[in-house]
Amino acid sequence: MDRITKELVQNWLPLREPDAHKGDFGRVLMIAGSKGMMGACVLSCRSAFRSGSGLVAACCSPDLFSDVHAGVPEATCVSREGVDPARYDAVAIGPGLGVSQENHGLICRVLAGYEGPAILDADALNCLAKYGFPAAEGRKAHLVLTPHAGEAAKLLNGPSSAEVSANRETYGLQLAERLQAVTVMKGSGSLICCPDGSVFQNTTGNAGMATGGSGDVLTGMICSFAGQLAAQGAGPAEAAKRAAVCGVYLHGLAGDLAAKQWGTDGLMASDLADYAALARESFTISSQTD
């Protein structure tokens, strides 16, 4: 197991050249949100922008577009009817989505046809656990899964949530190999387990991040980095792996920076989304002073 260091993340983060344009920083798609759960979509989109994405699109029902525009006016909106994921450098599916056979069908269609990095969180994982995970040979997408212990237990269809929590590396590697997906086992000292057997342990974060919406912010950050890396020429499998490692580390760092301002008891997920920009900027400052 390798501990994630600032040096590793510095080497894996996407570049940001002075003469770049927004297309150099990725076009990402968030298939997220439903009635009463649009905050999850907004948090994912906001954290993607704060992490450096050039263009972010929210994919939801048209009657919910106004919720997106109110929460993150920089984002565009597209309907799930006829959306073309191939136009995007990375796709995230799940925050606030809802569990239904219709959504399961949408997820499977995206995974079967999309060839870039796809980050699956929350209800995307719950849909696949309930209705079936498509076989690796029927998928083109390069997956990053971000389950907490309960979601991982459902995907494994055997161990309890408590057993998964007590043996995160073992079960994380099982999921990574079985589903051929980079698997982020969330929790204190989150583990990133890869299909090649490598494991990375996070070294940032605090207890204040145990709050609703924190996972939605993480999904947006990982998707952002995957999109930036893909736009800059990284292969989808490598973009998925590097984005997971960088996203988890900077998500924790954003929490640490926010806690210095607000403390841990009152930390909110929206704080993490905004402090993601300062977490990313700390690397830029460091590289300029080294």
Q: Report, as an integer, the average pLDDT of 7-24.
A: 88
Q: How confident is the model at residue 184 (pLDDT cuts 50, 70, 90)?
A: very high
Q: What single string gives the DSSP state of each residue in 25-61? A: G-EEEEE---TT-HHHHHHHHHHHHHTT-SEEEEE--
Diameter over CA atoms, the chain = 52
pLDDT for 41 equals 98
Report the C-alpha gap between 98 and 95 in whole angstroms.
8
Q: What single string gives the DSSP state of each residue in 56-120? A: EEEE--GGGHHHHHHH-TT-EEE-STT--GGGSSEEEE-TT----HHHHHHHHHHHHH--SEEEE
Q: What is the CATH number of the domain that holds 253?
A: 3.40.1190.20
Report the C-alpha gap between 30 and 90 in whole angstroms.
9
**Structural domain span for residue 34:** 2-289
Report the C-alpha gap between 109 and 86 in whole angstroms.
12
Q: Flag whether pLDDT at 289 surpasses 70.
A: no
pLDDT digits (tens, 9 = 90+) for 145-178: 999 999 999 999 989 999 999 999 999 999 999 9
Give the residue among 211, 177, 209, 174 at the shortest CA–CA distance from 190. Answer: 209
Q: Flag whether pLDDT at 286 surpasses 60.
A: no
pLDDT for 285 equals 58
Q: What is the pTM of this model?
A: 0.97
Residue 219 DSSP SS3: helix
Instruction: Give the tokens for residue 68.
Output: 């997106």
For the chain, the domain total comes to 1
Q: Flag whether pLDDT at 249 surpasses 70.
A: yes
Place of tokens 């972010």: 56
Please answer whether residues 119 and 222 qualify as being in contact, where contact means their C-beta atoms are separated by less than 8 angstroms. yes
Of all residues in the chain, what percent carry a pLDDT higher than 90? 92
Instruction: Give the tokens for residue 124.
Output: 């995307």
189 exposure class (CB count in 10 Å sphere: 0-12, 13-18, 19+): middle
Q: How confident is the model at residue 17 (pLDDT cuts 50, 70, 90)?
A: confident
Mean per-residue pLDDT over the chain, rounded: 95
Of all residues in the chain, what percent carry a pLDDT higher than 70? 98
Spacing of C-alpha 274 from chain mean position: 16
